[in-house]
Amino acid sequence: MSAHIPEVQSTEQLREKWMKPEVISGSEILLRSLLLEGVECVFGYPGGAVLYIYDALYGFTDFKHLLTRHEQGAIHAADGYARASGKVGVCIATSGPGATNTVTGIATAFMDSVPLVVITGNVVSSLIGTDAFQEADITGITMPITKHSYLVRNVEDLPRIIHEAFHIANTGRKGPVLIDIPKDVSANKTLFEPGQSIKLRGYNPTVVPNRLQLDKLAAAIQEAERPVIIAGGGVVYSGGHEELFEFVTRTEIPVTTTLLGLGAFPSGNELWMGMPGMHGTYTSNQAIQQADLLINIGARFDDRVTGKLNGFAPLAKIVHIDIDPAEIGKNVKADIPIVGDVKTVLEMLNPLVGRSNKADAWRTKVSQWKQDKPWKYIDSDTELKPQWVIELLNDTTSGEAIVTTDVGQHQMWAAQYYRFNQPRSWITSGGLGTMGFGFPAAIGAQMAYPERLVISINGDGGMQMCAQELAICAINNIPVKIVVINNQVLGMVRQWQELIYENRYSHIDLAGSPDFVKLAEAYGVKGLRASNKEDAKQVWQEALDTPGPVLVEFVVRKEENVYPMVTQGSTIDQMLMGDSE
C-alpha cells in the first residue's frame, strides 16, 4: 500500500460547501480558510493553546492531518511537501515550546525560499506579555526568518489574514509566513466571510522585467566568447525549467546548476557541467573562472558557490536574474541586473536570443574538461564506498525518484552521483544546512506524491535528530525508503578536521549510535543492513520490492572524503581533487 490522501474536492465544490454565511468559531474559520486555499495535507502537534483548533479537527476529513512526533518533524515535513508539490506547506504547533520547536524549520524554509504557512497557538489575549504558562513571543522570535508574521487580535480578521498569508508565502520570493492565534481568538465566534481581494500596500513583487535589460543581455550573448549559465533554485520555484531548456537550446551555453538548482536542467544533457562551488565539478568551477559572460538565473551567489569573493569569475561580465532585488549586487556586482520572475524573464528573453559562433571553441573546451575531469572516486572490493551506494540508488531507479537528504557528506555524494532529470525531485537543506531535515521532508514529499518512489538519504548523525518520525511512517504506511549512510562519525566535520585542523578529531565519534535496524523494527518499520556490494544490491532490491516503509543501513568506510573540495578562503578553481588524482 502507498500513503493515502483523501480525495480533495474541487475549489468550486469547496466554495459552495464552505462559504455559507454562518456564525462559527475562529477554529472553524481556520479550517474553512485552509480548504479554500486548496490545502490537502497539514502536519501538526497539538497542545493547550491550540485545543480549540484540534477540537474542530475531530472527525474532520476534508483534508489530511498528519500527527508527527515532534514539531520540528512537522515543519520539515511541511517543507518537503511544499518543495515537492510547489504548493504552500502548512503546519500547526501549540504555544511556547511547541512554537519555538518550529524555529529551525522556519529558518530552513526562509533561507531556501520555500512557501510555508506556520500556524501557532498562543495564550489568551489578556495574558499576552505576562509570562503566562507556555507563552513565547513567537512573532518577535521569528521576525528575521519570516516573510511576514501575524498576531491575530480579532477573530473577524482571521479569514483575511489567512488569505493574505498564503498570497505572501507563494508570490515574489517565496518563503514562510507565521500566523499566531491566541486561544480566545480560536474560540470566539463571528460571521464567516472568506478573504477575497488582496490589498497589501507596499507588497508588489516585480514579475515582468525591464525590456531594455533583456536587450542588453541578448546583445552580450552574441558578443560572448566564453559564456556560462548558473541556474539556481529560482528556476525550480518559478516553474521555469522548460523555459531554461529552451534558452540553453537556443544559445548552446554550458550550464551549471547549484545545489538547490539540481533538476532544473536535465543532467544527461551534453551542455550540463554539474554543480559549482565547494564540492562542484572541475568543469563548472574552471568554466566560471574563465568565463567572459556569467548569467546567473535564480541563484543568490552563496558563499559555497563563489568561494573567495574577490577572486570569483574575475574575467566575466555578470548578469543576475532574480525575483528579489535585494539579492542583486548583494554579494557579486551585477553588470546587467534583471529583476523579475525567472519563468517570465526567460519567456520574454527566448525570442531575442540565438546561438553565437564566437563560442564554438569554448564549447569544445568545456566538453573536453567534462571528459578529462569527471566526478570520480577510488572504488573498493572489500569496503562499501558511499559514492557506490548512491550510484546503486541512481541505477536502480533510473534517476526518477524524489530524493531528500540530510546534511553532510552523504548530501554532497547524493548531489554528485544521483542524476536528476526533472525539477522538484531533489529536496535538501541548502542555505541553513539543517541536520534532521531529510527524513521528515521525505514524509512530506511522499504525502504530496503517494504513488512516487521517495528516497530519504541520511547520515548516521542527522538520522538520529528526527528518528522518532519512523512512528508515523509505520502507523500511516508511508512508503518512504530510508537510507542511512553509516560511517560511525560526523563525516563532514571529520573531513574538515583532517584537512584543515591537522587531524585533531574533536568530538565526532558516533560509534555509540543505536542499531538502526533494531531502531526501525522497534517502530514497526522493516530494517535491513549491508556492508558489502553483494549484500547492498540484495537488501536495496528487497527494500524496493517491499510495499511500505523500509530503512536500509549501508555501513561504509569511515575515512572517505568528499572530493573535489574548495577550502574556505580559496577561489573555486583552487580545488583539492583527492586521492583519485
C-alpha to C-alpha distance for 262 and 256, rounded to whole angstroms: 9
C-alpha to C-alpha distance for 319 and 481, rounded to whole angstroms: 40
C-alpha to C-alpha distance for 305 and 277, rounded to whole angstroms: 4
| Residues 225 and 173 occupy one common structural domain | no
Q: Which domain holds residue 80?
A: 11-191
Closest Cα partner for 145 from 180, 182, 181, 114?
A: 114
What was the pLDDT predicted at 135? 95
Query: Does residue 5 lie within any of the structural domains?
Result: no
| Residues 431 and 504 occupy one common structural domain | yes
For the cut 60, the answer to whether the pLDDT of residue 1 exceeds it is no
What was the pLDDT predicted at 5? 45
User: What sign does the CA torsion over 31, 36, 37, 39 have?
Assistant: positive
Closest Cα partner for 121 from 60, 178, 192, 189?
A: 178
pLDDT tens sequence across 213-261: 999 999 999 999 999 999 999 999 999 999 999 999 999 999 999 999 9
How many other CB atoms are found less than 10 A from the CB of residue 537?
A: 14
Q: From the centroid of its chain, how far is CA 498?
A: 29
| Residues 230 and 129 occupy one common structural domain | no
C-alpha to C-alpha distance for 553 and 517, rounded to whole angstroms: 7
pLDDT tens sequence across 331-361: 999 999 999 999 999 999 999 999 989 999 9
* Residue 134 annotated in active site: yes
The one catalytic residue among 134, 468, 488, 497: 134
> Within 13 A of 440's CA, how many CA atoms are on the CB side?
31
| Residues 405 and 532 occupy one common structural domain | yes
For the cut 90, the answer to whether the pLDDT of residue 537 exceeds it is yes
Residue 427 three-state SS = strand
pLDDT tens sequence across 26-64: 999 999 999 999 999 999 999 999 999 999 999 999 999
* Residue 133 annotated in active site: yes
| Residues 391 and 444 occupy one common structural domain | yes
Read out DSSP for 204-263? ----SPPHHHHHHHHHHHHH-SSEEEEE-HHHHHHT-HHHHHHHHHHH---EEE-TTTTT
What was the pLDDT predicted at 478? 98
Using CA atoms, how far residue 433 sits from 43, 411, 428, 480, in Å, is 22, 10, 8, 22
The one catalytic residue among 71, 164, 327, 391: 71
Closest Cα partner for 492 from 419, 418, 411?
A: 411
| Residues 232 and 364 occupy one common structural domain | yes
- Nearest 10 degrees: CA dihedral of 560, 563, 566, 567? 10
| Residues 221 and 305 occupy one common structural domain | yes
- Please give the DSSP secondary-structure letter assigned to residue 60: -
pLDDT tens sequence across 126-177: 999 999 999 999 999 999 999 999 999 999 999 999 999 999 999 999 999 9
User: What sign does the CA torsion over 533, 535, 537, 543 have?
Assistant: negative
| Residues 25 and 121 occupy one common structural domain | yes
* Residue 87 annotated in active site: no
For the domain that residue 77 is a member of, what is the CATH number? 3.40.50.970
Q: Kindly calculate the radius of gyration of the chain based on its CA atoms and give it in whole angstroms.
A: 24
What was the pLDDT predicted at 149? 97
C-alpha to C-alpha distance for 249 and 256, rounded to whole angstroms: 14
| Residues 292 and 406 occupy one common structural domain | no
For the cut 60, the answer to whether the pLDDT of residue 529 exceeds it is yes
| Residues 139 and 181 occupy one common structural domain | yes
Mean pLDDT, residues 481-487: 98
Percentage of the chain exceeding pLDDT 70? 97
Query: Does residue 133 lie within any of the structural domains?
Result: yes
pTM for the predicted model, two decimal places:
0.95
Residue 10: pLDDT band with limits 50, 70, 90:
low
Query: Does residue 456 lie within any of the structural domains?
Result: yes
Closest Cα partner for 493 from 428, 431, 437, 562?
A: 562
Query: Does residue 466 lie within any of the structural domains?
Result: yes
Sheet holding 64-67, edge to edge: 64-67, 41-44, 89-93, 116-122, 176-182, 148-151
C-alpha to C-alpha distance for 71 and 149, rounded to whole angstroms: 18
For the cut 80, the answer to whether the pLDDT of residue 362 exceeds it is yes
Q: From the centroid of its chain, how far is CA 84?
A: 8
Q: From the centroid of its chain, how far is CA 45?
A: 22
Helices 409-417 and 491-499 sit at what angle, rounded to 10 degrees?
100
The residue from 157, 191, 225 where one domain ends is 191
Mean pLDDT, residues 506-514: 94
What was the pLDDT predicted at 18? 74
What was the pLDDT predicted at 19? 75
Query: Does residue 409 lie within any of the structural domains?
Result: yes
What was the pLDDT predicted at 6? 44
Q: Which residues contact 157 (CB under 8 A, 6 or more apart)?
A: none
C-alpha to C-alpha distance for 12 and 277, rounded to whole angstroms: 47
| Residues 341 and 439 occupy one common structural domain | no
* Residue 71 annotated in active site: yes
Give the chain's length: 581
Query: Please, are residues 75 and 43 in contact by the beta-carbon 8 Å criterion?
Result: yes
pLDDT tens sequence across 149-159: 999 999 999 99
Closest Cα partner for 198 from 169, 161, 155?
A: 161
The one catalytic residue among 183, 317, 370, 385: 183
How many domains would you assign to the chain? 3
What was the pLDDT predicted at 14? 58
Using CA atoms, how far residue 30 sits from 119, 186, 252, 389, in Å, is 10, 8, 50, 45
Mean pLDDT, residues 111-119: 98
The one catalytic residue among 16, 133, 242, 559: 133
Percentage of the chain exceeding pLDDT 90? 92
pLDDT tens sequence across 426-443: 999 999 999 999 999 999
Q: From the centroid of its chain, how far is CA 535?
A: 32
What was the pLDDT predicted at 2? 47
Query: Please, are residues 163 and 192 in contact by the beta-carbon 8 Å criterion?
Result: no
Residue 581: pLDDT band with limits 50, 70, 90:
low
Mean pLDDT, residues 274-297: 98
pLDDT tens sequence across 544-560: 999 999 999 999 999 99
Q: Is 562 exposed, middle or buried (0-12, 13-18, 19+ CB in 10 A)?
A: buried
Query: Please, are residues 267 and 435 in contact by the beta-carbon 8 Å criterion?
Result: no
Using CA atoms, how far residue 395 sits from 399, 438, 560, in Å, is 7, 21, 22
For the cut 90, the answer to whether the pLDDT of residue 178 exceeds it is yes
Using CA atoms, how far residue 459 sits from 397, 407, 436, 558, in Å, is 21, 8, 9, 12
Lowest mean pLDDT: which of 9-18, 85-94, 216-225, 297-306? 9-18
| Residues 168 and 217 occupy one common structural domain | no
Query: Which three three-digit cell numbers place residue 399?
Result: 534517476
Strand partners of residue 526: 550
The overall average pLDDT reported for the chain is 95
Query: Does residue 184 lie within any of the structural domains?
Result: yes
Query: Does residue 196 lie within any of the structural domains?
Result: no
What was the pLDDT predicted at 21? 80
For the cut 60, the answer to whether the pLDDT of residue 75 exceeds it is yes
What was the pLDDT predicted at 371? 95
Query: Does residue 198 lie within any of the structural domains?
Result: no
The one catalytic residue among 412, 492, 565, 575: 492
The residue from 348, 372, 396 where one domain ends is 372
Using CA atoms, how far residue 138 sits from 120, 165, 174, 293, 563, in Å, is 8, 16, 20, 45, 41
For the domain that residue 245 is a member of, what is the CATH number? 3.40.50.1220
